[in-house]
Amino acid sequence: MQTGTHLDREHCVRAVQSKDARFDGWFFTAVVTTRIYCRPSCPAVPPKPENMTFYPSAAACQQAGFRACKRCRPDTSPGSPEWNRRADLVARAMRLIADGVVDREGVPGLAARLGYSTRQVERQLLAELGAGPLALARAQRAQTARLLIEITPLPMTQVAFAAGFSSIRTFNDTVREVFALSPSELRARVPGSGAGTPGVLNLRLPFRAPLNPSNLFGHLAATAVPGVEEWLPDCLDGAGGTPTGAYRRTLRLPYGHGIAALAPRADHIACRLTLSDLRDLTVAITRCRRLLDLDADPVAVDERLRTDPLLAPLVDRGPGRRVPRTVDEAEFAVRAVLGQQVSTAAARTHAARLVAAHGKPLDDPEGGLTHLFPSPEALAAVDPGTLAMPGTRRTTFSTLVRRLADGELHLGVDADWAEARARLLALPGFGPWTVDVIAMRALGDPDAFLATDLGIRRAAKELGLPSTPAALTARAEGWRPWRAYAVQYLWATDSHPINFLPA
């Protein structure tokens, strides 16, 4: 399936006629006779091919005068996998827009973060997505507004400003234009809508099937830092599906803080967000999706890895493995340094001490979360002599947090992957393993590969793959561009707790 302005019409028509949910979020189908746009898997009778036209984004559909289908709700599709597998200008811009930068800083702020002119950013987004940054941000605001209308008791005035609209009139006009209903009509359509607890939102996060939750939630639970993360049994019992327990963690957000509880279900991720400021809703959802790699295309990944006869049995045994990522790139980089050459338990202990001493306290009525992870600025003020680690690692830690605090090292969603790698490698104590694990889990590079990891080398030897880093890297050329996912399948051959959901 081609993307951007190069959508393959024949493939799009076939996807719509077969109601292929795999392509939800890749493109949108606009029906010229009804002026409605849908996701490819819309359950309605497919329109005639001559009445279909295709757009690469919901914003492009809206700009062309189409409204969202009330049946398939295209605004609830998973995001396009394109923006998480690419590191070019458009992909970086889309990640920033999803993180709410246009709402907070405007298009000039978006362009400044990307290092390009406003005109160049607008031109490239329009060429590939059929809509500029303002239209893309507007479509996202409409989606956020719909969520708040349907699942909170907030008055519409508060909904409008929490969703990022600058005025009530703009909010009303946008909702009517996108959904062909007024805000009050939207709320009336959903039984029990507006009956939630203020500041607490229960959501369903969609994903492309299959999804294997074992390594995803197992990894997060096994490496959880006390006070910041925890695994609780059955804490989302009322969220639909069979309760399996939930991963919970604190979130540092642009307007305040929050707590996310995430639990796997058969066809979605149950998500409960507790936010100190509802303006952070869009950002919190985006970061939870990124943490769980929910916008991945597992079919494309697994098809590629199955071409290696030694990997194919691992993929067939547990398809749909995701890469566990992070909600805070700087936090993960610090934790990667704390985990150098020590066990998982020791790394958790080091991190927990930092959290207790330097993290910002918060209240958690539902569990045992106590702090936000310390910011780079707070950690830069720590006396290295108080750290219970070897002197060389103290130097590594101190240098990293200073570079993060002063902005010399940037690891955000808009980071240039090649530049970030080069800056990391220039730091004292940073070798290939540390750089690659940060690239895989913080930067989100789907092709990062841990050739020097002992677990990977052990798994490779057991499978009959080359076990030396150089030879294994050469063999892994055939797994591109999904080597980070190959790492998950190789790790899964071990009996380490990261590979299993907690009992």
- Residues taking part in catalysis: 38, 453
Are 171 and 163 within 8 A, CB to CB?
yes
CA distance 17 to 339: 50
Contact 198, 152 (CB under 8 A): yes
Which residues make beta-bridge pairs with 261?
Answer: 248, 272
Instruction: Name the one residue in this structure whose structure tokens are 């890469």.
Output: 323
d(C-alpha 243, C-alpha 145), whole Å: 29
Q: Are strands 371-372 and 360-361 parallel, antiparallel or unpaired?
A: antiparallel
Residue 4, Cβ neighbours under 10 Å: how many? 15
CA-to-CA distance for 380 and 374, rounded, in angstroms? Answer: 10
Beta bridge partner(s), residue 37: 30, 68
Lookup: tokens for 97:
């827009």
C-alpha span between 194 and 174 (Å, rounded): 20
DSSP letter string over 122-165? HHHHHHHHSS-HHHHHHHHHHHHHHHHHHH----HHHHHHHTT-
Residue 172 to residue 85: CA distance in whole angstroms = 35
**Tokens linked to 155:** 């008055």
Tokens of 215: 């390594």
d(CA 114, CA 84): 16
290 CB neighbour count, 10 Å cutoff: 21
Q: Could you tell me whether strands 246-252 and 229-232 are parallel, antiparallel, or unpaired per DSSP bridges? A: antiparallel
